[in-house]
Structure 1
C-alpha cells in the first residue's frame, strides 16, 4: 500500500503518461515527415538504381519469387549468382537470365540450412567475381500443419533452419563484402510476420523473427553502411503456395502473379525503400494487428478452420441453431473456402 504513496512512483507515472501524450501529438507530423522522405527518395537518383555489372546473389532462385527476382535483375544487366538446392532448375534459370540481358550468371547449389553451404556460397561469389553488391535472401519453405499435429521436432526445425537461420547465416558471411561495396540486402519476408495465419505457426514465427532481426540491423552499425529492404508479400501464385493442402488458401482469395510481385520487390530495392508490402492493400493487416488484433483472427478461424470466432459467438450460435446445426454452419464456411 505504501508503494503507491512514494513520490518516485507518481513521478514515473506522470513521466510515462507525459511521454505517451507527446508521442501521440507528434505522430501526425512523424507520418508527414516519413511520407516526405519516401517521396524524396523516389525522385532523387540513387546508386541502388544502377544495377549493370553489379554482383547479386539470389537464394531460392530455382523457382517462384526468387526466379522472377533473378530475371528482373538480369534485364538490368546484373551479374548473378543463383543459389538453391536443385541444380537442374538452376541451370534453366541461369540460361533464361543470360537470354534476358544478364552480363553473367553462375549457379551455386546451396542448402541454406547448412552453415558450411552458406559460407561456401559467399566464398564462391567473391572468388568468381571479386565482390558482392546485393544479397537477395529469398530462400524459404513452409510446412502446413497445426502445432499439436507435429509428431516430432525434426519437421518444424527444418522450417526454422531454412526460413530464419538461412537468412542469418548468409548475411553473416556476406557482411564484410557488403560493407566494402556499401551494398544492399533484400529480404523476402512475408505478411505472415504480422498475421496469425493458422497451420503455419513456425513459418509465421520465422518470418516475424526475420522482420525484427533486419529492422534491428538498421539500428546497429551495419545499417549505416548496408541498405536493407524487407519485402512482405501476401499470397502469391508460386510453387510454395500451390503445394499447400486444399483449403489452406481460400479459393476466392485474390492472388498476385509471381512476376508482378518480383517486379514490385526489385523496384522497392532500387528505390532503397525500407519495406515493400506486396500487394499494397495487404497494409490493412498491419493496422488491424495494432488496433484490432481480435478481429484479425476472425476470418481464418471461420473460413479456414470452420470454427466460431470466439466463445460468445459459439454460445449464441448454439443457443439459436443448436449445437449440431451450429457446427454444420461453420463447417460450410470452410467448405466454401475450399
Structure 2
C-alpha cells in the first residue's frame, strides 16, 4: 500500500499537467460555443411560474421585478405580508400576468409544504424555484456566550432552501424546471465575524452542486455567488447573539472598502444567467478574482482580512475592530450606492 501511495504521489503532478494541456482546451472551446448558443436563444419565461423566497426586499424583490418584466407569473413568499403585497402590485404594473403572495416562514417544514401546495393549487405548475431568502450573522466566534443563538443563520440560509427544494422537485421535474440557489462569495471567503454565514453559504453551494449530479438533466441548477450587494445587510441589518438589529457602524467595518453592487444590476445579471442555463454566476463579475486568490494564495487573503477587519487600536460603538477606511471623507459616497446610506429598513 505504501508503494502504491508513493507511485500515485509521484504520478499525480504529470497526470494533472497532461489533463490540463489536452483536455481543458477542447472542453473550454465546447463550453464557449454552448454559451454562445444559450445567449442567442435564452429561455423565454413568459407565462411560466416562478416562486421566489425572501421576495419582500433586497435581491429577492428585484428578482421579482426582473421576472415580471419578462412576463413570468409569480409566487412571492416571505414573512411580511405588507411588503409582499407592495412588491406584487408593482410586478403586475411591470408586466407580470399574475403575482400571488403566500406569506410563510421557510424555517418551518409545514410552511414550505404549504407554499408549494399553494403554488400548484393556483397555477398547476412550477418552472423556477428561486431560493433567495437569507440573513447574515455577525459575531466573533470566541465572543459568543451562547453559540446556539446563531442557529437561525443556518436554519434560514441552508435548511430553508433544502425544505423548499424537497417539496418543489416533483413539480420541477414535470416542467424540466430550474432551481436558483442564492449562495454567496462568502462560501469561499473567510470573512471575520461571519463564520456562521460563511458556513451556511458553503453548505448551500455544496448541497446544490451535489443535487445537480443527482438530478442530471431533469432539473437545471444555477448557483449564484454575489459579492456585496445592496440589501438589508448592506444597510446594517444583521443577526447577532442578542437578535436582529440595524448597526451601520458594524456594517462599515464588515463591508469596509469593498464596492457595493447595485441591486437592480445584480437582479438583471442573475435572471439573464438563469435563462441562459448557466451553472454558476458571480455578480459583480470582477468578484471572481477573490475565488482565485483563495485557491492560489489563501495566506495573502487571510493577512488582508486580519489587517482590514481585526487589527486596530480603535473600536466602534459595537466593539468591532478594523481599519475604518470608509471613514475617510467621500469614501462612502464613492463605494456605497445612495440606497444604503440610510438605515431605514422595510418592516411591514
Structure 1 unmatched ranges of 5 or more: 308-326
3-state SS, counterpart of residue 297 of structure 1 = helix
**Alpha-carbon shift at residue 290 of structure 1 (Å):** 1.1
Partner of 2:163: 169
Aligned mate of 2:290, from 285, 288, 299: 285
Q: Does residue 71 of structure 1 match 2:60? A: no
Measured in 2, the distance between the counterparts of 1:141 and 1:100 equals 27
1:127 corresponds, among 116, 121, 125, to 121
Q: Is the 8 A contact 2:70 2:96 kept in 1?
A: yes
Deviations 1:299-333 (A, max 9, x none): 221111126xxxxxxxxxxxxxxxxxxx57xx996
Aligned-residue offset at 1:251: 4.8
Cα distance 1:15–1:156, how it changes in 2: closer, same or farther (>3 A)? same
**Alignment RMSD, CA only?**
2.1
Q: 1:223 aligns with which of 216, 219, 225?
A: 216
Q: State the Cα distance separating 1:192 from its structure 2 match.
A: 0.5
- Which whole-Å CA distance do the structure 2 matches of 1:125 and 1:183 have between them? 14
Cα shift at 1:286: 1.1
C-alpha contact 1:303 1:337 (8 A) present in aligned 2: no
Residue 149 of structure 1 deviates from its aligned partner by 2.0
8 Å CA contact retained: 1:64, 1:240: no
Q: Distance in 2 between matches of 1:71 and 1:283?
A: 26
> 1 CA distance for matches of 2:65 and 2:131?
15
Match of 1:335 among 324, 334, 341: 324
Residues 228 and 255 in structure 2, CA contact (< 8 A), matched pair in contact too? no
Match of 2:198 among 204, 207, 211: 204
- Deviation of residue 200 (structure 1)? 0.9
Work out the CA distance in 2 between the residues paired with 1:294 and 1:34: 32
Q: Is the 8 A contact 1:304 1:337 kept in 2?
A: no
Q: Equivalent residue for 1:233?
A: 226
Question: Hey, what does 1:20 align to over in structure 2?
Answer: 16
Query: Which of these residues, 111, 114, 119, is aligned with residue 108 of structure 2?
Result: 114
Matches of 1:207 and 1:274 in 2, distance apart?
16
Q: State the partner residue of 1:88.
A: 82
Q: Does 1:264 align with 2:258?
A: no
SS at match of 1:236: coil
Q: Tell me how far 1:15 sits from its aligned partner.
A: 4.6
Normalized per residue, which structure has more helix? 1
Output the TM-score relative to the length of structure 2. Answer: 0.83
Unaligned runs of 5+ residues in structure 2 are 238-246, 315-319, 328-348
Confirm or deny: 8 A CA contact 1:81 1:106 kept in the other structure.
yes
Larger of the two Rg values belongs to structure:
1
If the length of structure 1 is used for normalisation, what is the TM-score?
A: 0.85
Q: Which moved more, 1:58-67 or 1:144-153?
A: 144-153
Larger displacement relative to structure 2 (144-153 or 208-217): 144-153
Q: Which residue of 1 aligns with 2:97?
A: 103
Q: How many residues align?
A: 309
- Within the candidate set 39, 44, 55, 1:42 is matched to 39
Structure 1 residue 38: deviation in Å?
2.3
3-state secondary structure, aligned to 1:186: strand
Matches within 5 A, 1:131-170: 131-170=125-164
In the alignment, which residue of structure 2 is the partner of 1:58? Answer: 52
Alpha-carbon distance in 1 for matches of 2:156, 2:255: 26
- Equivalent pair of 2:88/2:100 in contact (CA under 8 Å): yes
Cα separation, 2, equivalents of 1:52 and 1:201: 40
